[in-house]
Structure 1
């Protein structure tokens, strides 16, 4: 068995296990294909859009993998968050990151409550799978906020490099 077949449905920080526990076995192959295609569908657009910034494409794809992989853990998110330092030029302009505080607060919230909910469900028997899955959704939300904020910063940095007269100005869509 390979990881592509998702053989182990042990509760983890990923988004897949709960979905596949609740699903009928007849649809398992179809949804496995859909979930893997979902992860794959980000690679081509990121590579095409960030062809001038290949390092940004790689780091952003690491973020997608950290959020959407089936057996997610804190190490994957930590590796991605540490690789964000490679995009240090985006962090020099603090106005490029709009939602950093809510993302970090949500990440800390889920980091503290995740082990508590897991313990209550598995060991104490007073919680249930819904509590633990809800906190994994909050964890993924925090990572997605950071990811979208980083995508915005990379796009804004590229835009400001092409149009120096717009540097630091607010962008309004007409």
Structure 2
């Protein structure tokens, strides 16, 4: 009895080829402890089949794809189609990621503009607040000065009234003593 690895090494073919042959002869495969063993009879059948195939079709060439040996052109074509499909899938994913990155870049630009606008608005509000505070202090000073002027005017009026009264009193005294 042989393992799949032993047959692959001895016949210089891939394990994939051996497994495809095993599907045709399931009665000749023995599984022990999870490992597949092939009977001598099936080994001879596989060997004869490969020999006859090589003689019948000289165009079948051993091709190395990604480090594995492929027995015939059909198998090589299948692997090539599979690889091409994988490449196309990866390219599709890369294109999708590029689109997502562009979308994220646009979102970042939009957010940066929003942040700049918010900062401008905040700065304008701060300037308004400073102007309000400045205006309030200016009006307070103005109010104080007005109050001072008003008090001075009141004092002057009082003085004028007093002076008038004195003058009148003097006149009256003058009239009396004249």
| TM superposition score normalised by structure 2 | 0.22
- Greater radius of gyration (CA): 2
- Identify the structure with bigger relative contact order (alpha carbons < 8 Å, sequence gap 6+): 1
Normalization by structure 1: what TM-score?
0.22
- Relative to its length, the structure with more strand (as a share) is 2
- Structure showing the higher helix proportion among its residues: 2
